[in-house]
Amino acid sequence: MSVVLVDCDEVLTGFVPHVLNTARMYYGVDVNPEEISSFDLFAQLGLNKKAQNNLKDEFVSRAGWWESMPIRPGADGFIGDLQARGHEVVVVSSPWLNCPGWESARRNLLRREFWLQPKQFISTSDKARIRGDVFIDDKVSNVEEWSQINEGRLAILVDQPHNRENTTLLRLRSFEEILQAIDDHEEKRK
């Protein structure tokens, strides 16, 4: 079976809704997640630079904020389905470098919500260098870079409002579509 590399934020967890909820509570910002049209989320909140930096420094840079990240509907079942099919699941996530305790908070969330062990988590800013058979992410550049280094392997862009400009990558909208693509990829490898 395959080694399936899965991004965390906006694939398994709701980073954007979590930021938007925090911005709404503390700054009165009311932005619909569907309006986030680029990967630079903080610049799209309608806040000045000082408020954007404060939001990052005071809230997003706290380990507890990361541990309280909401899980995307169906994500736990998706991980379970991958494991039930015999796949090795590894979460590959880019670190939030100015958050002391980010890595342990991320591990705690993955263990609590998905029953994943520490060895099933890799923190790296260079996801393209991580070997696997399947790569699932919401950031266009991550999927493009991984695809270039890992030719012939399956790379999936998870559909999000911030990546809809891209029309060249395999974009899938649901966990069911992703599972089917992985099943098809496995069948071709036989």
Kindly report, residue by residue over 31-83, the tens digit of the pLDDT: 999 999 988 999 999 999 999 999 998 889 999 999 999 999 999 999 999 99
**Do 157 and 183 belong to one domain?**
yes
Q: Above pLDDT 90, what percent of the chain?
A: 93
User: For residue 110, what are the domain limits?
Assistant: 3-14+70-189
What is the sign of the dihedral through the CA atoms of 85, 156, 161 and 96? positive
Element (H, E) at 161: none
Per-residue pLDDT of 96-143, as tens digits, reads 998 999 999 999 999 999 999 999 999 999 999 999 999 999 999 999
- Can you give the pLDDT at residue 145? 98
Helix 175-189 crosses helix 75-84 at what angle (to 10 degrees)? Answer: 20
**Do 23 and 108 belong to one domain?**
no
- Can you give the pLDDT at residue 68? 95
Using an 8 Å Cβ cutoff, are 162 and 40 in contact?
Answer: no
- Can you give the pLDDT at residue 161? 95
Taking the C-alpha atoms of residue 113 and residue 74, their distance in angstroms, rounded to an integer, is 12
**Do 83 and 169 belong to one domain?**
yes
Residue 171 sits at φ, ψ, to 5 deg, of -105, 125
Per-residue pLDDT of 18-27, as tens digits, reads 999 999 999 9
**Per-residue confidence band for 1, with pLDDT thresholds at 50, 70 and 90:** confident
Tokens of 190: 């036989």
The CATH code of the domain that includes 104 is 3.40.50.1000
**Do 130 and 75 belong to one domain?**
yes
**Do 175 and 90 belong to one domain?**
yes
Tokens of 39: 């990967």
**Do 47 and 101 belong to one domain?**
no
Using an 8 Å Cβ cutoff, are 135 and 150 in contact?
Answer: yes
Looking at residue 2, what DSSP letter applies? -
**Do 21 and 113 belong to one domain?**
no
**Do 144 and 117 belong to one domain?**
yes
**Do 124 and 172 belong to one domain?**
yes
pTM of the predicted model as reported, rounded to 2 decimal places: 0.96
Per-residue pLDDT of 76-86, as tens digits, reads 999 999 999 99
**Do 105 and 169 belong to one domain?**
yes
- Can you give the pLDDT at residue 58? 86
Q: For residue 31, what are the CA distances in angstroms to 17, 160, 172?
A: 10, 15, 24
**Helices of type H across the chain:** 15-27, 49-55, 63-67, 75-84, 102-114, 140-149, 175-189
* For residues 138-151, average pLDDT: 97
Number of structural domains the chain divides into: 2
